[in-house]
Amino acid sequence: MTTTIALAGKGGTGKTTVAAMVIKYLMLNQKEAILAIDADPSANLNMVLGLELGWTVGEIRENLLEKVKQSVSAGGAAMGSVSGGMSKHDYLDYEIHTSLVESERFDLIAMGRSEGPGCYCAVNHNLREIMDNLSQNYRYVVVDNEAGMEHLSRRTTNDVDHLFVISDPTQRGITAAERIARLKDELNIEVKNTYLILNRLPGAIPPALQERIDEIGIPFLGTIPADDTLTNFEFSGKPLIELSLDSPVYQAVSGMLEKTLDV
């Protein structure tokens, strides 16, 4: 059975850092396969994981539409195939599987940019089926989302086991996190558990901020401290997944996952 862990938050809150720590925890505490999905158009999850990124799903989709245009111009079938007789579904399936970036303990796929001006309905339907089938091959799927969580809404199986909403330690950040968490209802995403995580906290939670956290009614999972070591990793470009086990950032995330995951 696949467990889906999704991370969301407004830009700059550090959700990609938290995603890397979630993957690190899973690597160290269970032996089954992990799929990381970078659903943020900025596509930088690969950098914190120390991997080179090849094709994105968005680029594959654009290439397919271009091939269909070429096939139509050459007198080929417009609806079911691309040049060479390969069906659109088979083309997407092959390209997505070959675009997987593989490491020893986890695989990565990046969604890339959103749709352009072309017609995407049939393509997106095939993509949803292929991505869902791909996910079923993994015990854990970790999704680093854009703030709007559009990728999750496009899945044919919308179930998410754990949604971690990441906020910076500000009143505005908590308000944005509240709005993002409520999107799951608007987008009709089935989420079993939703949690709020406060990131880059320089000390104890100020009383006024704690009061705001209590007001929004989202279960508060905990805090992640500000850490100069992580900042130095960011400056040097060193993959964050290489943070030591005694890193305060990793220790904080690890403690949260011990409370929420059955690993």
* DSSP class per residue in 70-132: HHHHTT--SSSB-TTS-BHHHHHHHHHHHH-EE-SSEEEEE--S---SS--HHHHHHHHHHHH
**Is the distance from CB of 108 to CB of 138 less than 8 angstroms?**
no
**Mapping DSSP to helix (H, G, I), strand (E, B) and coil, where does residue 16 land?**
helix
**φ, ψ for residue 214 (rounded to 5)?**
-65, -30
**Is the distance from CB of 201 to CB of 169 less than 8 angstroms?**
yes
Amino acid at 238: K
Is the full-model pTM beyond 0.75? yes
Across the chain, mean pLDDT equals 88
Confidence (pLDDT) at 123: 65
Beta-carbon contacts of 119 under 8 Å, excluding residues fewer than 6 positions away, are 65
Q: Which CATH superfamily is domain 3-57+101-112+136-260 in?
A: P-loop containing nucleotide triphosphate hydrolases (3.40.50.300)
**Is the distance from CB of 141 to CB of 4 less than 8 angstroms?**
yes
Please list the residues that pair with 36 across neighbouring strands.
108, 142
Confidence (pLDDT) at 238: 94
Confidence (pLDDT) at 41: 80
Task: Give the side-chain half-sphere CA count within 13 A for 228.
Answer: 0
Q: How far apart are CA 56 and CA 61, in angstroms?
A: 9
- Name which of 53-67, 110-124, 220-234 the model is least confident about: 110-124
Helix 57-73 to helix 88-99 angle, to the nearest 10 degrees?
150
Q: How far apart are CA 147 and CA 15, in angstroms?
A: 10
Beta-carbon contacts of 244 under 8 Å, excluding residues fewer than 6 positions away, are 250
* In the predicted structure, residue 215 carries a pLDDT above the cut 90: yes
Q: Parallel, antiparallel, or unpaired for β 3-8 and 34-39?
A: unpaired
* In the predicted structure, residue 163 carries a pLDDT above the cut 90: yes
Confidence (pLDDT) at 55: 84
36-49 mean pLDDT: 90
What tens digit of pLDDT does each residue of 71-128 get? Answer: 655 555 444 566 566 788 888 899 999 999 999 899 999 988 665 555 445 566 777 8
